[in-house]
Amino acid sequence: MEPIQIDSIVESITFLKARGDGTYYSKSLTEAGPSKKQSKGLKPLERMIRKLVKSELAAANTYLERHERSNRRKSNGWLWDMGKNLKKAASTARKSAKRPKLTVVR
């Protein structure tokens, strides 16, 4: 029997096999990847920090685009439009920073 070619989008394949006594057990065809080495208590904090960094990245990208556009439009445009550009970037950060779900792990 030839090995099965699995597309990269497939994460795992699990079969249910029957035992003689009528019960079932699971058999995994694919191997699980390495697990993250992180304590369960720090998982909510890590999730919150990651979302915060993503929102700040969105704000920085927005500011950079508007900064360059202001410079193309007029002489020293970045300086004249700095307040407006910073306000728009902060608005983008607020919109992209959804409230994280905080769960308590005991």
Q: State pLDDT tens for residues 43-84.
A: 888 888 998 999 999 999 999 999 999 999 999 999 999 999
**Which is more confidently placed, 32 or 84?**
84
**Mean pLDDT within 88-98:** 87
Structural domain that includes position 78: 40-96
Rounded distance, CA 83 to CA 25, Å?
62
Q: How many domains does the chain have?
A: 1
- Per DSSP (E only), the strands in the chain are 14-18, 24-28
- Give yes or no for a contact between 92 and 64, defined as CB atoms under 8 angstroms apart: no
2 domain-assigned:
no
Q: How confident is the model at residue 5 (pLDDT cuts 50, 70, 90)?
A: confident
47 domain-assigned:
yes
**Residue 32 confidence (pLDDT):** 65
77 domain-assigned:
yes
**Which is more confidently placed, 66 or 39?**
66
81 domain-assigned:
yes
**Residue 6 confidence (pLDDT):** 75
80 domain-assigned:
yes
88 domain-assigned:
yes
pTM: 0.57
| DSSP 8-state assignment for residue 42 | G
75 domain-assigned:
yes
**Residue 86 confidence (pLDDT):** 95
Q: Of 49, 56, 50, which is closest to residue 93 (Cα–Cα)?
A: 56
- How far is Cα of residue 22 from the mean position of the Cα atoms in its chain? 42
